[in-house]
């Protein structure tokens, strides 16, 4: 499977988002790839509100079976969520469970006016009724559960997508 170029997808995502972004819109990236992507979108869209980040580790519905991820990070929402339009940003949309967890955590900070989802790639395989308002690329065929699509960032900040076998 040939993967699209990440930088081209980011340009498409910016073009999709730009017409709908309000002056007080804030981005919240989901660790790790979603934070990288949100940083880039935040810069490209020249947003005034500071960017936030969420680690959904404590909000996952499979925490009991999977355990806590070894690299759990601190969530940081440096703005008032109440009444503000928020875009949750993730690199790859799969089952929808990570997005559900991010929504649960976001609402612990307040009640936004609106919440949208922006993703670089929708790989299919949804288990929950979650859909991205902004999506740069949808795979023609859903990936099997034993394969993951991963966003990577090199030392120079360049992005790439890589298909890997799930562990």
Please provide the DSSP assignment of the chain as one string: -PPPPHHHHHHHHHHHHGGG--TT-EEEEETTHHHHHHHHHHHHHT-SSPPEEE--GGG-TTHHHH---TT----B--S--TT-EEEEEEEEESSSHHHHHHHHHHHHS---SEEEEEEEEE----SSS---SEEEEE-SSPPPTTEEEEEEE-TTS-EEEEEEE--
Q: CA–CA distance from 128 to each of 80, 89, 95, 101, 131 (Å)?
A: 28, 17, 6, 11, 9
Question: What pLDDT does 27 receive?
Answer: 98
Q: What is the chain's pLDDT, residue by residue, as a tens digit (167 residues)?
A: 788 899 999 999 999 999 999 999 999 999 999 999 999 999 999 999 999 999 998 876 655 555 555 566 789 999 999 999 999 999 999 999 999 999 999 999 999 999 999 999 999 999 999 999 999 999 998 889 899 999 999 999 899 999 999 87
Report helix angle 33-45 to 6-17, nearest 10: 50
Question: What pLDDT does 9 receive?
Answer: 96
Q: Is the domain 6-66+80-165 a CATH 3.30.870.10 member? A: no
pTM above 0.75, yes or no: yes
The residue extents of the domains of the chain are: 6-66+80-165
């Amino acid at each position: 499977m040939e993967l699209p170029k990440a930088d081209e997808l980011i340009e498409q995502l910016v073009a999709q988002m730009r017409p709908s972004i309000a002056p007080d819109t804030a981005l919240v990236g989901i660790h790790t790839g979603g934070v990288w992507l949100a940083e880039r979108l935040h810069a490209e869209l020249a947003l005034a509100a500071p960017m936030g980040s969420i680690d959904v580790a404590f909000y996952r519905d499979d925490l009991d079976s999977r355990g806590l991820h070894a690299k759990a990070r601190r969530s940081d929402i440096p703005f008032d969520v109440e009444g503000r339009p928020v875009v949750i940003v993730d690199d790859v949309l799969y089952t929808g469970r990570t997005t559900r967890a991010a929504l649960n955590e976001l609402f612990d900070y307040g009640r936004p006016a609106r919440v949208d989802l922006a993703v670089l790639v929708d790989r299919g395989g949804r288990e929950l009724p979650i859909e991205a308002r902004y999506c740069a690329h949808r795979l023609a065929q859903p990936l099997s559960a034993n394969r993951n699509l991963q966003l990577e960032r090199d030392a120079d900040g360049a992005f790439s997508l890589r298909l890997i076998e799930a562990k």
